[in-house]
């Protein structure tokens, strides 16, 4: 791994957080992910989103961030109580030995670290503008990632409308939300978008990073509208980021890149970073993410790197990664040889739905996961210490995280049910043709499925 002192820095961040309280995390104050098409938010992508009351934003548009719910979570953190919704980090911190949770990694960001002590002294119910805002204007998406949902993908939404829901104990793919009045399509009057634009003039003054997400942002006209606004009303301090699956046409991606480059060249924004998602390579990755074409993705990915931009790959580390992730790591080695540290990747473990979780796998897969960790450890000239640490925590989570027998049974039952039905609905090779390592596990799950209700 490259020689760096980053983990020593993270140790210091952990100590500063714990000096405020052992459950304190700056993200509850400074980070916001906002889904305007459903009126939901969360402080980072680990807790489940919670709904924003229309009465709250009618009184104060900054309640898109400063909800009553979030303020209660802040209060718990200041008092040293662990909010239940932040279990992702508590799972890591509860592991034996020394492990680093995202409470520490994320609070180390340059927009957060200088403010740790100041936040700890603020009243828990104070309103504050986030420094980092991730915002989705809609769920239009040309991908149908297996562990995603209709709330974030219109391709998923259309499939469930056509073929119906899956037979699962954990209903991730249902579309009942369409009937609940909490979903706004692209042609609907949306009070959350209205509140956002009321908030924007005040918000933009404090914003360090604006990260536009989806769905797929390049399917939403809101992205280009935002670039138009930045052209007319520059934000020289702003770090602009876009989450894209890079599945749009070359022309559309290049137009977006050119617009961003123009903003950078004119000093109208400070920096640009591309975020994208992948956790495999070739046919296996394309199976996990219906709609993905690896070579098409790679061309659009490299076009960003050629401009000197950082490109971050978010790897949702799931059950199918355990036997195949080394192929993706080999691509990381290849890209880093050409573009160096412009290529970044992160490996958060998937926490839902259960049939995609690594913790329902049988013991023989643990050795495969150890091999992936060793692949990173043995290439110290390519991978960073924090990349090793993040994979180590995934590995230890898989080995030691407590999960009940019933949770395992339900996850395995759903694994068989989902992938059997999935292979009927998607065109191309199926699970066992692409992932032969899972054959015995698949038939074990079939047996669980057949005996589940007996």
Q: Are residues 386 and 305 in the same domain?
A: yes
3-state SS class at 381: coil
Model pLDDT, residue 225: 86
Q: Are residues 106 and 152 in the same domain?
A: no
Strands 239-243, 209-213: pairing is: parallel
**Contact partners, residue 323, CB within 8 Å, separation at least 6:** 365, 368, 435, 437, 438
* Residue owning tokens 């509860």: 94
Model pLDDT, residue 178: 87
Q: Is residue 282 assigned to a domain?
A: no
* Contact call for residues 310 and 335 (beta carbons, < 8 A): no
Q: Is residue 268 assigned to a domain?
A: no
Q: Are residues 16 and 152 in the same domain?
A: no
C-alpha 177/C-alpha 49 separation (Å) is 14
C-alpha 144/C-alpha 153 separation (Å) is 7
Q: Are residues 127 and 147 in the same domain?
A: no
Going by C-alpha positions, the residue among 150, 183, 153, 196 that lies closest to residue 32 is 196
* Contact call for residues 158 and 138 (beta carbons, < 8 A): no
Model pLDDT, residue 127: 97
Model pLDDT, residue 402: 86
Q: Is residue 24 assigned to a domain?
A: yes
Cα 174 to Cα 136, 137, 312, 400, 409: the distances in Å are: 20, 21, 30, 31, 21
Q: Are residues 350 and 418 in the same domain?
A: yes
pLDDT tens for the chain, residues 1 to 454: 455 689 999 999 999 999 999 999 999 999 999 999 999 999 998 999 999 999 999 999 999 999 999 999 999 999 999 999 999 999 999 998 889 999 999 999 999 999 999 999 999 999 999 999 999 999 999 999 999 999 999 999 999 999 999 999 998 999 998 887 789 998 899 999 999 999 999 999 999 999 999 999 999 887 888 899 999 999 999 999 999 999 999 999 999 999 999 999 999 999 999 999 999 999 999 999 999 999 999 999 999 999 999 999 999 999 999 999 999 999 999 999 999 999 999 999 999 999 999 999 999 999 999 999 999 999 989 999 999 999 999 999 999 988 999 999 999 999 999 999 999 999 899 999 999 999 999 999 999 999 998 6
Q: Are residues 437 and 332 in the same domain?
A: yes
Q: How many residues does the chain have?
A: 454
* Contact call for residues 266 and 313 (beta carbons, < 8 A): no
Confidence (pTM): 0.94
Q: Are residues 101 and 156 in the same domain?
A: no
C-alpha 310/C-alpha 428 separation (Å) is 33
Model pLDDT, residue 111: 96
Please state the domain count of the chain. Answer: 2
Token readout for 286 is: 């394309």
Q: Are residues 32 and 161 in the same domain?
A: no
Q: Is residue 307 assigned to a domain?
A: yes
C-alpha 283/C-alpha 350 separation (Å) is 21
Rg of the chain (C-alpha set): 22
Could you tell me how far CA 412 lies from the centroid of its own chain? 24
Model pLDDT, residue 4: 67
Model pLDDT, residue 373: 98
Domain boundary among 101, 133, 165: 133
Q: Is residue 224 assigned to a domain?
A: no
* Contact call for residues 450 and 198 (beta carbons, < 8 A): no
Each residue of 429-441: b (16+ CB within 10 Å) or e?
Answer: eebeebbeebeeb
* Contact call for residues 239 and 271 (beta carbons, < 8 A): yes
Going by C-alpha positions, the residue among 207, 195, 201, 198 that lies closest to residue 53 is 195
3-state SS class at 213: strand
Please state the φ and ψ torsions of residue 266, each to the nearest 5 degrees. Answer: -90, 0
Token readout for 200 is: 């924007």
Q: Interior CA angle at 235 toward 234 and 239, to 5°?
A: 130
Strands 132-136, 144-145: pairing is: unpaired
Token readout for 277 is: 């998602």
Q: Is residue 380 assigned to a domain?
A: yes
Q: Are residues 440 and 326 in the same domain?
A: yes
Token readout for 452 is: 């589940």
Q: Are residues 58 and 171 in the same domain?
A: no
Locate all alpha helices (DSSP H) within 359-438, ordered by sequence.
364-377, 385-400, 405-425, 431-434
Q: Is residue 395 assigned to a domain?
A: yes
Domain boundary among 98, 133, 168: 133
Locate all alpha helices (DSSP H) within 173-216, ordered by sequence.
191-206
Q: Are residues 33 and 154 in the same domain?
A: no
3-state SS class at 277: strand
Strands 209-213, 289-290: pairing is: unpaired
How many other β-carbons are positioned within 10 Å of the β-carbon of residue 23? 22
Residue 438 domain boundaries: 139-182+301-454
Q: Is residue 330 assigned to a domain?
A: yes
Q: Are residues 359 and 331 in the same domain?
A: yes
């Amino acid at each position: 791994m490259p020689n760096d002192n980053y983990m020593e820095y993270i140790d210091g961040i952990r100590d500063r957080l714990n000096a405020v309280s052992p459950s304190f995390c700056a993200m509850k104050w400074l980070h916001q992910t906002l889904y305007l098409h459903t009126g939901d938010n969360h402080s980072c992508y680990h807790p489940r989103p919670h709904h924003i009351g229309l009465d709250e934003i009618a009184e104060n548009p900054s309640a898109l961030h400063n909800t009553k719910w979030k303020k209660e979570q802040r209060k718990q953190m200041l008092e040293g109580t662990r909010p239940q919704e932040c279990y992702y980090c508590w799972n890591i911190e509860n592991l034996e030995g020394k492990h680093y949770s995202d409470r520490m990694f994320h609070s180390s960001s340059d927009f957060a670290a200088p403010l740790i002590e100041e936040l700890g002294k603020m009243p828990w119910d104070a309103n504050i503008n986030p420094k980092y805002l991730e915002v989705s204007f809609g769920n239009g998406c040309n991908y149908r990632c297996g562990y995603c949902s209709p709330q974030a993908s219109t391709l998923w939404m259309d499939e469930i409308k056509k073929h119906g829901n899956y037979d699962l104990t954990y209903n991730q793919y249902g579309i009942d939300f369409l009937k609940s009045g909490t979903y706004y399509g692209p042609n609907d009057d949306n009070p959350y978008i209205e509140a956002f634009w009321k908030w924007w003039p005040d918000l933009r003054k404090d914003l360090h990073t604006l990260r536009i997400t989806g769905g797929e942002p390049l399917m939403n006209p809101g992205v280009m509208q935002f670039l138009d606004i930045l052209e007319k009303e520059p934000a020289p301090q702003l770090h602009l980021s876009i989450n894209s699956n890079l599945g749009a046409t070359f022309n559309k991606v290049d137009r977006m890149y050119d617009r961003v480059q123009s903003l950078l060249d004119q000093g109208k924004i400070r920096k640009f970073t591309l975020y994208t998602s992948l956790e495999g390579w070739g046919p296996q990755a394309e199976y996990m993410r219906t709609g993905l074409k690896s070579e098409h993705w790679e061309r659009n990915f490299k076009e960003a790197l050629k401009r000197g931009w950082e490109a971050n790959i978010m790897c949702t580390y799931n059950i199918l990664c355990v036997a195949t992730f080394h192929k993706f790591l080999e691509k990381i080695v290849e890209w880093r040889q050409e573009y160096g540290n412009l290529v970044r990747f992160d490996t958060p473990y998937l926490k839902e739905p259960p049939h995609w979780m690594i913790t329902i796998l049988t013991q023989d897969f643990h050795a495969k996961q150890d091999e992936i960790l060793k692949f990173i450890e043995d290439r110290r000239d390519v991978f960073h210490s924090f990349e090793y640490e993040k994979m180590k925590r995934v590995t230890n989570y898989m080995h030691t995280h407590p999960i009940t027998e019933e949770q395992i049974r339900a996850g395995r039952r759903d694994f068989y049910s989902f992938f059997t039905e999935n292979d009927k609905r998607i065109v191309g090779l199926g699970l066992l043709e692409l992932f032969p390592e899972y054959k015995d596990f698949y038939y074990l799950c079939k047996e669980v499925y057949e005996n589940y209700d007996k």
